[in-house]
Every structure is written in C-alpha cells, then in structure tokens.
C-alpha cells in the first residue's frame, strides 16, 4: 500500500493537459471540486462524469494510474458509505437489527462516494500531468500576493517541492527499517494501542534520524549549487499563459456555470 500513493508521481506524456500552465490546472481542479459540491443530483453527476472522463482522455495517462490513488482512500470510502447508508433517517428499505438501510441513505452514500472518488481522481489528474516542480512553481506564483504580508512564499514552495521529492524515498526507507526490525523480532501488529505506539519507536527513531541526515546532506548539496534563497533566481520552465490556457479557463468556467445553474434550478 505504501507504494500505491499516487502523490507526487508524475507520468510523462505529451498531452494537452501536460502542456497547460500549472496555475490553470490548480484553479481548474479547485473549480472542479467546487462543482462536485454544487451538483447534487444524478444528472448533475452525469455532467461531472462527462467532464472528468474527457479530462482523463485528454491526459493520455493510462486509466489504471488514476485509480491507484483510490486504494489509499478505500477505507475512508467504505466508512463514509456505510455511515451514510445506515445512519441516514428516511424511508427504510431493509433492516438488520438497529441498522436501517434507507433510500435517503443510499442516495446520500452515493453522493458522498461519487464526490470522494471524483475528488481523488480529479486531483490525481493534476499531479499526474504536472511535475511536482511545476506544481510548486504554480503554487508559488498563485501565492505571490501573500508576499506583501511577509509570507515566505518561495521558501514554502521550495519546502513543498523537496518534501514531494522525498516522500517516495522515505516510504521506501520505512519499509526497509520495518523489515530490519521484524528480522530482530519486532512486532508491529499485535497489542493494544499503547503497545503498538511503543512498538513504533524502533521504526520512528531511525526514520527521523535518517530524514535529518538527508536534510543535512541536501542542504549542503543545494549550497554547493549556489542556492541562496529566492532572490535572483530564474526559472527553467517559467510560467507563461498560452492560448490553450485561456481556452481551458473558458471551458472550466462554462462547466462551473452549468453546475451553478443546475444547483439554482434544483436539478
């Protein structure tokens, strides 16, 4: 499961989405997520589905990658669905003891499930078609106005970028440390919550130390390559809106408008 997190995994391909400015994709994803909460009927979700499916097709990323991220939220999804199905008051369709499966529950569960799934898939499209550096560049640019209130925008973006780069490495390291401690008889499974927490020490201490060591090495390497903060830096892939970005904004705004209309009209 550790390797299944789609976060930070860029899939190289030459698609329209790959070529869009990351800011466009950020804003687009945000608007898409908003639309998911505006739509609340199945015709509405139908429109959302059409939009999502077209994005998936445009991205040229194999569909299997999109659904990798879903494995991480599988449990949350299950819990959400179960809660909604059984604990929503309404017209009872089936009963087992005090568990009442209601029509409204089914509807609500369906809505939640769709929102959650589409949210994850939608965000995945963004991270799969945008390199983490582009993502942080985009975020840095969108956050620029905050510089006026002394927010260290560049530093935040750099920290995020480095964190994304090291997530897979630290996950692998966690795996290795776990195996080494299991080889010494450590048990990460049995025991109550206190025992399990204590049992994590042989995993967390080496992991933290390793992370600090990496940070130290990385800082030296960055300094050796003349990194001295955000002042005076140029960009290899500067952000520049192109025609296709305006088209994308246009399409997304139309789509959002549709979702607003649907909501207002009660569809």
Residue ranges binding another protein (CB under 8 A): 8-10, 12, 64, 131-133, 161-162, 164-165, 168-169, 173, 176-177, 179-187, 201-202, 205-206, 209-210, 213-214, 217-218, 220-228, 232-238
**Shortest Å, Cβ 165 to another protein:** 5
Angle between helices 22-38 and 243-265 (to 10 degrees): 10
| 8 A C-beta contact, residue 138 and residue 130 | yes
- The closest of 131, 163, 125 to 236, measured between CA atoms, is 131
Cross-strand bridge partners of residue 92? 102
Angle between helical axes of 103-129 and 42-59 (0-180°, round to 10): 20
Closer by beta carbon to another protein, 96 or else 224: 224
Give 92 or 220: the residue with its C-beta nearer to another protein: 220
* Least distance to another protein, CB of residue 88, Å: 36
Shortest Å distance, C-beta 52 to another protein: 22
Nearer to another protein, 104 or 173 (CB): 173
In this complex, which beta carbon is closest to another protein, that of residue 152 or of residue 168?
168
**Measured from the CB of residue 241, what is the shortest distance to another protein in angstroms?**
16
Q: How far is the CB of 15 from another protein (least distance, A)?
A: 13
In the complex, what is the shortest distance from the CB of residue 162 to another protein, in angstroms, rounded to a whole number? 7
Nearest to 6 by CA among 91, 92, 65, 73: 65
Residue 97 falls in which region: left (phi positive, over 0), alpha (psi -120 to 50) or beta: left
Return the closest-CA partner of residue 28 out of 259, 263, 260, 245: 245
Shortest distance, CB of residue 148 to another protein, whole angstroms? 23
Closest CA to 32 of 235, 248, 185, 191: 248
What stretch of H or E contains 95? strand 92-96
**Matching residue, tokens 């939009």:** 51
Question: Of 96 and 226, which CB lies nearer to another protein in the complex structure?
Answer: 226
Q: Which is nearer to another protein, 46 or 229 (CB)?
A: 229
Phi, psi of 13 (to 5 degrees): -165, 165
Is 87 or 175 the residue whose CB approaches another protein more closely?
Answer: 175
């Amino acid at each position: 499961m550790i390797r299944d997190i789609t976060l930070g995994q860029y899939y190289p391909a030459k698609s329209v989405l790959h070529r869009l400015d990351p800011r466009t994709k950020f804003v687009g994803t945000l608007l898409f997520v908003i639309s998911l909460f505006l739509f609340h009927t199945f015709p509405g979700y139908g429109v959302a589905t059409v939009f999502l499916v077209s994005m998936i097709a445009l991205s040229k990323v194999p569909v299997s990658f999109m659904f990798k991220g879903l494995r991480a939220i599988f449990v949350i999804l299950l819990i959400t669905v179960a809660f909604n199905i059984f604990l929503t008051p309404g017209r009872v369709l089936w009963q087992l003891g005090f568990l009442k499966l209601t029509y409204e529950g089914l509807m609500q569960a369906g809505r939640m499930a769709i929102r959650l799934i589409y949210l994850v898939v939608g965000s995945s499209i963004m991270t799969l078609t945008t390199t983490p550096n582009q993502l942080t560049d985009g975020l840095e640019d969108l956050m620029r106005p905050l510089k006026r209130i002394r927010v260290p925008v560049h530093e935040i973006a750099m920290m995020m970028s480095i964190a994304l780069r090291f997530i897979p490495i630290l996950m692998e390291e966690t795996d290795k440390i776990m195996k080494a401690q299991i080889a010494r008889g450590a048990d990460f499974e049995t025991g109550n919550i206190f025992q399990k927490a204590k049992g994590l020490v042989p995993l967390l201490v080496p992991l933290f130390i390793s992370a600090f060591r990496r940070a130290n090495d990385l800082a030296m390497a960055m300094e050796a390559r003349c990194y001295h903060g955000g002042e005076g830096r140029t960009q290899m892939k500067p952000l520049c809106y192109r025609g296709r970005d305006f088209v994308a904004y246009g399409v997304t705004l139309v789509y959002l408008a549709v979702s607003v209309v649907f909501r207002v009209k009660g569809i």
